[in-house]
Chains A and B, each alone.
Chain A
Amino acid sequence: MNRELYESIFSAPTLMATAPFLVLSIGVLVLLLAEVVPGMTTLRKPIFLASIVVAGWYAWQTIQGRETWAFAQTYVANSTTGWWTMLFLASTAIAWIFGQKYYTGDEAALEPEHDILMLTAASGMVLMAGSRDLLVFFVGLELLSVPLYTLCGFRRARRDSVEAGLKYFLLGAFAAATFLFGAALVYTGTGTVTFARMNPADLSSPLVMVGAALVAASLFFKVSVFPFHLWVPDVYQGAPAPVTTFMATGTKAAGFAFLLPAAAAMLPNSSTPVLAVIAVVTLAAGNLGALVQTDLKRMLAYSGVAHAGTLLLAIAGMRNDSQADGATQAVLFYMAAYVFTAGGAFGLVTMLESQTRAPVTLESIRGLAQRRPGVAAALALFMLSLGGIPATGGFLGKYLVFSVAVRSGMVAIAVIGIVLSVVALGYYLRVIIALYMQPEASPKGEAAPVRAGAGFVALVCAAMVLVLGILPAWFLDHVK
């Protein structure tokens, strides 16, 4: 390593560029320390929240600041990565606050470790979004994945949780190996793993194309795109609900945050039709799969697959888009709406699950509107937003993504995609039907009160869904 590079690592711009990541890492270390220092254990929650808030403040500085490249062109901080960081932090906060008291009564689950692992995973996401290099990304990916494997199996005493953890670990390890193999092939063909140093002429060699395809496949695994989505329903259902919330929103956002620049840097033009077909098939697989589910976590898992398909449409259209940053903006907006919508929906499921200690199904939420109008109204709003009904963020996200597809000339694909998303309403509406239009399954007396924290976050999520749908100007103007 040359001296110049060595010095640049500790320069002020670099530190500023990586500040959100550093803050989260320091937060993890402090949390670890807090567990062993007497008297500091009570500070766990404040430290957790403080790390998120401070990281958020630095992310806001990144958004407003100029684009900064660090570590020899392998890491970038600009307004886009700043927004991604904000989304990861929001996702972490939503999952964490909804998950309070979730593990109460489960002796095998160790809450301090839970928080530490979650914060570690969040720092991994930040690294993933900023990386412009396959290996830096891989570090971020593992920083995210390894804690998630543990978190999925966090309720050691419960069979389904352990099963989810094991399943995710085995498949995840396989995906990681695929990624490394792909990266190795790309390196063989181009002589570098950094996007900025790749020579466009090298990218069309078969070796590099196979490598890029393998890298894409492992990313598709993370964001649950067909045919790599089969783990999703089982893991989402088996994992503890707060972890599911975190995975469904954060991991997906992190995956797409990197998929955008990676696809722009490495995939050849000929990949467009392939990606479009994969997107449509993913939409079909997700929506048709969700249609037959009765367990809400499973249904939302399949719905997440369908949403990944929609987002992939934007990535497929990215190359021929007449607007340079159109796809990035569309995906970012879509994910922003998705983090609050799906975060809120999974969060409410977490809350209901921790109150009833039973899986949340279409059966168990019947007539919820009578007992708890607020929870039902929020859940209904999230369903409408997931379904892309206007006046919600979900609609505008969909509108922007399909705009990319139409601008890039894929009108027919867009029509097929949009018709498939009619199917989605079939199951989202079933949730609303259960909430509002069916009598209570078994009146179990008074419902437990909604905790202040969960109620507040649900309210924030609902408000964000509406603000993104009705007053998107502020956000759209800032995401450029």
Chain B
Amino acid sequence: MNFLSLSVLVFLPLVGALLVAATPSKAAGMQRAITLLTMLVTGVVGVMLCLDFDGSSAAAQHVESVPWFTLPGGIPVQYKLGLDGVSVLMVALTAVLGPIVVLSTWGHIHERVKEFMVWLLVMQTGMLGVFLSLDLVLFYTFWEVSLVPLYFILGIWGGSNRLYATIKFFLYTLSGSLVMMIAVIWLMYRTHSTDVVQITSVAGSLPHDVQMLLFGAFALAFAIKVPLMPFHTWLPDAHTEAPTSGSVILAGVLLKMGTYGLLRFCIAMFPAASLEAAPWMMALGAIGIVYGAFLAMAQTDIKKLVACSSVSHLGYVALGLFAMTAAGLRGGMLQMVNHGLSTGLLFLLIGMIYERRHTRALDQYGGIATVMPCFAFFFVVAVLSSVGLPGLNGFVGEYLILLGAFQASPWLAAIAVTGVIFGAVYLLMATRKLLFGPVVHAANRTLQDLGAREVVLMVPIVALIVWMGVAPNTFLSRSEGSLNEIQRRIDAARGARAALLTPTETDRPLLAERSESTPR
């Protein structure tokens, strides 16, 4: 059996979870070691698979396909995994963040370590499965299975209001998912297949209203997961109550399942419906950017601030993807990874300072830079990456997104640009309150700077942040083939749509500007 295969990648963490479950419950050291080792090996396997990937091709690679079971009507459900340009960066991100998250738990998970490690590993299997599934039923299975570990992580190791947050998170996400389940069933019986690649190629021939309804059901599920603006209320609650590692997974990977779904199942599968809905989805994104920024500005709890900034940053992703232009798609893709890295890093740092001071209220800090210079350095890097300083990753993504959005809708792009400014305002204000100025609170004078473990776990993220800022093409080139293919489908749908609409229809200004011939 080939060790470098997607099945190994997906199920290695699960094997690790079983191993951890078999250890005696008091042996916390052993449980941590097994978990870290499993995550490291998973990370290496994941990265190697992503390196061994031809980005210029749109076809799924490393494909594994085995018949799973047959549904009534003779529809074969497959166990089908594959890596393509849409998933490759997400898989790499998940694989890299895994060991980092495990290392971060050393500092804050001291009770029921075994259960925590088991859930962490199960989570990893679930998330990798979501990104790698190329069968609708398999995808749906992983999609919902990945809810359960976070439910436990939030509910057992969360803050004081954790039970409320955990139920809210679960039910919110589930209501979207279940509507998606009906869409999956419908799509399956309409196309007589559950193979994502096959369905993508034939979904365009479904009646237009069916496409719209299916698009709507999928978009709802993913919009709740992302979360886009009116569906976002579960996220700040979940982040505030989650332990650091839970927040890092949530922000780093789990939310990306939503944006990933929007790209693979909404835009790629139903480009015609997506075009129709694009102005609305872009508007939700733009509103989310500004609204999230305002929310963040009003926060006094640093963790809640970053949580709200997530709403804002993921608004960019939606804006970019639904601009449905070459630049927008690339920007959205890149921004998914950016957000995972920079917000993940911010949550890690907030966790570290919380472990020392046991408060997240901004007014309890001030002048930390003089006491913890190393912490301050990493924090500033994370903030600058998050606000989009040129030379770091955030800039590339936001620039491409705004470029793409401008081609599609200058007005929405203009609104979104203000989000960049507001983003700088709240993040830099928070940085000032946290790091600079005099040390007012006596408790802050004796804070210990970061230890070796904490530095080690953050170094890879910082390296990637710089790398992506300087040479984004290393990463974007991996998605090139798939994004071009999606673009081709969008253009075909756009052509078909333009042929339908009469040229006298002037009450749709968005359409005229969305053509690819617009000069950049």
Contacts and interface: CB of A to CB of B under 8 A. Distances in A.
Interface in A400-449: 400, 402-403, 406-407, 411, 414-415, 418-419, 421-422, 425-426, 429, 432-433, 436-438
Interface in A301-348: 322-323, 325-326, 329-330
B157 to A, nearest CB: 9
A382 B141 CA distance: 17
Interface residues on A, range: 35 or more
A442 B163 CA distance: 20
A473 B68 contact: yes
Contact of B151 (A391, A429, A476): A429
Contacts of A411: 182, 186, 213
Contacts of A390: 140-145
Given A329-B72, A390-B144, A477-B70, A402 B167 contact: no
B171 A422 contact: yes
A437 B155 contact: yes
Contact of B181 (A402, A425, A432, A476): A402
A406 B189 contact: yes
A433 B170 CA distance: 12
B313 interface: no
Contact of B163 (A400, A406, A419, A433): A433
A402 B177 CA distance: 14
A472 interface: yes
Interface string B290-323: 0000000000000000000000000000000000
A384 interface: yes
B73 A322 contact: yes
Interface string B411-435: 0000000000000000000000000
Contacts of A325: 72
Contacts of B141: 390-391, 395
B475 interface: no
A418 B167 contact: no
Contact of B69 (A403, A406, A426, A476): A476
Contacts of B179: 415, 418-419
Contacts of B142: 390
Contact of A426 (B145, B163, B171): B171
A415 B70 contact: no
A212 to B, nearest CB: 27
A419 B143 CA distance: 17
A403 B189 contact: yes
B25 to A, nearest CB: 8
A399 interface: yes
B73 A389 contact: no
B178 A473 contact: no
Contact of A436 (B70, B73, B143, B152): B152
B188 to A, nearest CB: 8
A419 B69 contact: no
A418 B69 contact: no
A330 to B, nearest CB: 7
Contacts of B171: 422, 425-426, 429
Q: Which of A403, A411, A414, A415 has the most CB of B within 10 A?
A: A403
Nearest to B69: A473
A399 B162 contact: no
A403 B175 contact: no
A168 to B, nearest CB: 34
Contacts of A477: 69-70
A461 B162 CA distance: 31
A403 B178 contact: no
B277 interface: no
Interface string B174-207: 1100110110011011000000000000000000
Nearest to B186: A406
Given A403-B71, A426-B167, A472-B69, A389 B148 contact: yes
Q: Is the interface of B mostly helix, strand, loop or mixed?
A: helix
Contacts of A326: 72-73
Interface residues of B, number: 37
A323 B73 contact: yes
A322 B171 CA distance: 33
A471 B147 CA distance: 21
Nearest to B178: A418
Contacts of A323: 72-73
Contacts of A476: 69-71
B73 A406 contact: no
Contacts of A425: 170-171, 174
B439 interface: no
A331 B112 CA distance: 40
B23 to A, nearest CB: 13
Interface in B251-285: none
A432 B153 CA distance: 13
B156 interface: yes
B185 A406 contact: yes
B162 A403 contact: no
B131 to A, nearest CB: 16
A465 to B, nearest CB: 14
A361 B319 CA distance: 48
B460 to A, nearest CB: 32
A52 to B, nearest CB: 29
Contacts of B148: 384, 389
Contacts of A418: 178-179, 181-182
A327 to B, nearest CB: 9
Contacts of A330: 72
A399 B180 CA distance: 12
A406 B72 contact: no
Contacts of B147: 389
B155 A433 contact: yes
Contact of B185 (A399, A421, A471): A399
Interface in A177-219: none
Q: Which of B142, B162, B178 has the most CB of A within 10 A?
A: B178
B155 A402 contact: no
B152 A403 contact: no
A432 B71 CA distance: 31
Contacts of A472: 69
A400 B137 CA distance: 12
Interface in B158-176: 162-163, 166-167, 170-171, 174-175
Q: Which of A329, A395, A421, A422 has the most CB of B within 10 A?
A: A422
Contacts of A429: 151, 166-167, 170-171
Interface string B192-233: 000000000000000000000100000000000000000000
Contact of B178 (A406, A407, A421): A421
A437 B137 CA distance: 31
B175 to A, nearest CB: 5
Contacts of B186: 406, 411
Interface string A375-402: 0000000001000011100010001101
B156 A402 contact: no
A330 B71 CA distance: 10
B70 A389 contact: no
Interface of B: 67-73, 137, 140-145, 147-148, 151-152, 155-156, 162-163, 166-167, 170-171, 174-175, 178-179, 181-182, 185-186, 188-189, 213
Given A406-B186, A422-B175, 14 more contacts: A322-B73, A389-B148, A390-B140, A391-B141, A399-B181, A402-B181, A411-B186, A414-B185, A418-B178, A425-B170, A436-B152, A436-B156, A437-B155, A437-B156
27 contacts: A322-B73, A322-B189, A323-B72, A390-B140, A391-B145, A395-B144, A399-B137, A403-B71, A406-B182, A406-B189, A407-B73, A411-B213, A414-B185, A415-B179, A418-B178, A418-B179, A419-B179, A425-B171, A429-B166, A433-B155, A433-B167, A437-B155, A437-B162, A437-B166, A438-B163, A471-B69, A476-B69
Interface of A: 322-323, 325-326, 329-330, 384, 389-391, 395, 399-400, 402-403, 406-407, 411, 414-415, 418-419, 421-422, 425-426, 429, 432-433, 436-438, 471-473, 476-477
Shortest 5 CB-CB distances between A and B: which pairs?
A473-B69, A390-B141, A437-B155, A326-B72, A418-B178
